[in-house]
Each structure stands twice: as C-alpha cells, then as structure tokens.
Amino acid sequence: MNFLKQMPSIHIHPVLYAFIAISFVTGTFLELFIIFFLVLFHELGHFTAASMFKWRIRNIVLWVFGGVVDTEEHGNKSIKEEAIVTLAGPFQHLIIFFLCLFLELFQFIPASILELVLYYNTMLLFFNLIPVWPLDGGKLLLLITSAFLPYKKSYHFTILFSMITIVSVVLIQLLFFPFTLSSFLIWIFLFMENRTDWKQRFYVFMRFLLRRYEGDSAIKKVVPVTVASESTFMDVFSKFRREKKHPVYIIYPNNERISIDENDCLRSYFYDKSYHHTVGETFQYK
C-alpha cells in the first residue's frame, strides 16, 4: 500500500499517441500493447530503485520504446547510486525473460504471444542500452564520463555524441537498409529530445550548481582547482566535478595566490549576484 501511495502520475508522450494511431491502421495493436506493458514495467524498475534512495520523483512519462522517470535530482547524487537507478530499468527485462520461461513451461499463455513478448523484450533491452541520451545507455555514458571529466564537459559530450550517433544511424538505415517509418520516427524523436536538451544545457548546469550551493551533493574526495584571477565564475564552475569538493586557488599576475572554498564562489554568484565580476575582483588579494 505504501508503494502505491508513492506512485507518481503517469503521462503518455504525444508521440505514443501517433504510434497508437499507426497500430490501428497497420493492425499491430497487440504488438504495441506488449511494448507499452514492457516499457511501463521497465520504468517501474527505475521508480522502485529511485524510491529506495528517497529521490524526489515528479512523474513518469511513457513514449514508444522507452520512457523517463522525471526526478528533481540533477547530478547531485553519487555515481554509484545513479548507476543503480539507471540499471534497474534494464534489469526488469531479465525478470521478464525468466517469467516467460516459467509461463512457457506451464503453458499459461499461447506460444505465439510469448514469442512476441520475448522478441520485443529483447529489442527493448538492447535498444535502451544504446549510448544515446536519454536512453539508459546514454545515462550510463554520462555517468562514466562524469567520473573523469567536469560535469559540464561530460554533459556536453554526451548530448553531442548522442546527436552524432543518431544522425549516423539514420544515414546508415537510409543507405543500406529498407526504410521503416516507425524506426525513422523513433530516431527523429530522440534527435529532437537531444536538440532540446542541448538548448537547455545552461539551465541543466545551473540546477547542478544550485544543488551544490544548497549542500545537496554527494562528496567523496577533495580535488583543488586552479584558475587565473581574470577568470569568470563560469570558468571556475566549468571545472566542477561530481563527487568532488573543490578548494579554488586563484592565481594573480604577480604569481601570488589565495585559496577560496567552492561555497564562497557559489555564494558570490547566486547570493551576491556577482555575475559580471571576475573571481580576482571579487576575492581581491590582500
């Protein structure tokens, strides 16, 4: 009962309605129903894992061959925790595999339907592991790169890599494989999602910084960063990494330096609104 009380609202993306209409025209409604069930089961895996870690969940959005558990966490949780939540979705497909084997053993469901379930379950599993944002493979790519790169750079890399991959796949499909409208629409949809996220990359980064400013970030290691006194606050913030606490060393033209806590930089930017000042001007050497 507590699990049901925690369930967020479930929304259907408009693109799914288009595929429902296509399924009626092409007579593939059963296939779409199976995919819809598998996608919902997949997203419930993410939701269950996120709930275990007490993430703040707004809603679940379903679209063809995937969905999104919309949370209020923005790169502030540990990489390990996010990896568990991300992998909880694909793990659900393994449960489906074993469930199908059980049902086949006792012949509870016609073999033809089980074959469809197994086919689409396999497709969904491998499709979601493609390293394209916002699929689970894309989220894992972001987690891996953010373990070695600053968060801003890793996010930009993930979105750009995803768009290049999508364009490459579409070109390969058009040149070497028979054209299928459903596959083409899915890749176009993913490209548009990445294009939207690229346009909103500044706001994504701001949410990441705000979580750090509020003290709501997992910290495992202290790693200093060094910047020139003429650097802007954004130059400093672009060096911030997940799970790292950053003492900031400001180097002045006379090679003197001072050490500032990252919270001082965040406070100057968000509270004092030092948007147009350099870090050297804000924290003057004495």
Give the containing element (helix H, strand E) for 142: helix 136-146
Q: Which residue range(s) make up the domain with 65?
A: 1-129
Instruction: Based on the fold, state whether residues 272 and 172 are members of the same structural domain.
Output: no
Question: Among residues 43, 193, 243, 262, which one is catalytic?
Answer: 43
DSSP letters, 19-30, are HHHHHHHHT-HH
Per-residue pLDDT, 74 = 67
Is there a catalytic annotation at residue 193? no
pLDDT beneath 70, residues of the chain? 1-8, 13, 15-20, 22-29, 64-66, 73-74, 285-286
Token digits of residue 165: 């991959």
Per-residue pLDDT, 286 = 45
Per-residue pLDDT, 87 = 95
Instruction: Based on the fold, state whether residues 125 and 150 are members of the same structural domain.
Output: no
Per-residue pLDDT, 108 = 72
Residue 135 covered by a domain: no
Instruction: Based on the fold, state whether residues 122 and 156 are members of the same structural domain.
Output: no
Per-residue pLDDT, 281 = 86
Instruction: Based on the fold, state whether residues 17 and 122 are members of the same structural domain.
Output: yes
Per-residue pLDDT, 101 = 84
Instruction: Based on the fold, state whether residues 97 and 197 are members of the same structural domain.
Output: no
Final residue before a domain boundary, out of 99, 129, 159: 129
Residue 230 covered by a domain: yes
Total domains in the fold of the chain = 3
Residue 26 covered by a domain: yes
If we measure between CA atoms, which residue out of 35, 44, 49 comes closest to residue 127? 35
Per-residue pLDDT, 9 = 74
Q: State pTM to two decimals.
A: 0.87
Final residue before a domain boundary, out of 129, 163, 197: 129
